């Protein structure tokens, strides 16, 4: 399936360049009788209940630029086949987790789990959206993190007159999916609101694939529970 076969012309994105790139994929496997021998090699001080393994796999990387916001967004694709029932993760950038590996959120783990799902099925992909800090930007995100670390509260703070709330927007993701010839998806998410939003944008969501991560850090657990309570899910 191609954009032409859908009579589709993107209006708010521009496809720029693409390449193939080997990625290191981390698999999180619950410790069981099958992998107990490998699990026994984990340090006794390691409290994780998941066994982590790593492999390398090649993905196609496609760079898109938003016509309105001027930001670059990336499609990380294994295969889309006929464009139907494609496993897809719509993932917003998280510098603090994905680059600096913070333990207060599970964004990096969610990305890795989604990549492992796609890699295992040899089908699907990740739409990586450049909208840091729930699209409030890094400065506002750091102000929010500072407030939370000082007070232990998770109330949105005001930064330069703007309230730190969820401003993530998914129309670019829908445009990218249509440009790739994808008409229906299995959405890899823990956020039910993403399902209704993608459907509103013209993408059929046939099912949801939940993301199970290895969040053991107590601060991370508290943070994630609060985000879940307020609907700020990935």
Q: Is 151 exposed, middle or buried (0-12, 13-18, 19+ CB in 10 A)?
A: exposed
**Residue 79 within any structural domain of the chain:** yes
Catalytic sites, residue numbers: 166, 168
User: H or E segment at 13?
Assistant: strand 13-30
**Percent of the chain with pLDDT strictly greater than 90:** 61
**Residue 120 within any structural domain of the chain:** yes
Task: pLDDT band for 52, please (50, 70, 90 cuts).
Answer: confident
**Based on the structure, what is the number of domains in the chain?**
1
pLDDT of 50 reads 60
> pLDDT averaged over the chain?
84
pLDDT digits (tens, 9 = 90+) for 176-217: 999 999 999 999 999 889 999 999 999 999 999 999 876 544
Euclidean distance between CA atoms 51 and 31, whole angstroms: 6
Task: Give the torsion through C-alpha atoms of 49, 55, 60, 66, to 10 deg.
Answer: 40
**Residue 151 within any structural domain of the chain:** no
Q: What is the pTM of this model?
A: 0.82
**Residue 96 within any structural domain of the chain:** yes
Contact assessment for residue 162 and residue 125, using Cβ atoms and an 8 Å cutoff:
no
**Is residue 60 pLDDT above 60, yes or no?**
yes
**Is residue 3 pLDDT above 50, yes or no?**
no
Task: Give the torsion through C-alpha atoms of 38, 44, 50, 55, to 10 deg.
Answer: -50
pLDDT digits (tens, 9 = 90+) for 122-138: 999 999 999 999 999 99
**Is residue 71 pLDDT above 70, yes or no?**
yes
**Residue 111 within any structural domain of the chain:** yes
Kindly report the CA angle at 106 between 104 and 108, in degrees rounded to 5?
A: 115
Per-residue DSSP letter, 179: H
Domain of residue 192 covers: 13-33+47-131+168-230
Kindly report the CA angle at 27 between 47 and 231, in degrees rounded to 5?
A: 75
Euclidean distance between CA atoms 123 and 106, whole angstroms: 24
Residue 113 sits in a domain of what CATH number?
Answer: 3.40.50.10990
**Residue 174 within any structural domain of the chain:** yes
Contact assessment for residue 28 and residue 46, using Cβ atoms and an 8 Å cutoff:
no
**Residue 159 within any structural domain of the chain:** no
Euclidean distance between CA atoms 32 and 178, whole angstroms: 40
**Residue 156 within any structural domain of the chain:** no
């Amino acid at each position: 399936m191609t954009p032409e076969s859908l009579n589709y012309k993107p209006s708010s994105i521009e496809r720029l360049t693409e390449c193939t790139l080997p990625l290191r994929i981390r698999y999180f496997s619950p410790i069981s009788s099958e992998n107990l021998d490998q699990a026994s090699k984990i340090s006794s001080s390691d409290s994780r209940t998941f066994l982590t393994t790593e492999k390398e796999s090649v993905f196609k990387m496609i760079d898109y630029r938003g016509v309105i916001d001027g930001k670059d967004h990336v499609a990380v694709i294994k295969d889309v086949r006929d464009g139907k029932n494609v496993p897809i993760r719509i993932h917003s950038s998280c510098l603090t987790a994905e680059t600096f590996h913070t333990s207060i959120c599970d964004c990096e783990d969610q990305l890795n789990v989604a990549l492992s799902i796609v890699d295992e099925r040899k089908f699907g992909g990740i739409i990586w959206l450049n909208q840091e800090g729930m699209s409030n930007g890094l400065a506002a995100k750091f102000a929010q993190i500072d407030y939370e670390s000082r007070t232990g509260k998770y109330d949105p703070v005001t930064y330069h007159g703007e309230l730190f709330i969820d401003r993530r927007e998914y129309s670019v993701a829908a445009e990218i999916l249509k440009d790739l010839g994808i008409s229906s998806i299995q959405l890899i998410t823990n956020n039910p609101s993403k399902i209704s939003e993608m459907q509103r944008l013209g993408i059929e969501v046939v099912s949801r694939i939940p993301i199970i991560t290895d969040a053991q850090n107590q601060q991370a657990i508290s943070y994630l529970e609060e985000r879940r309570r307020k609907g700020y899910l990935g």
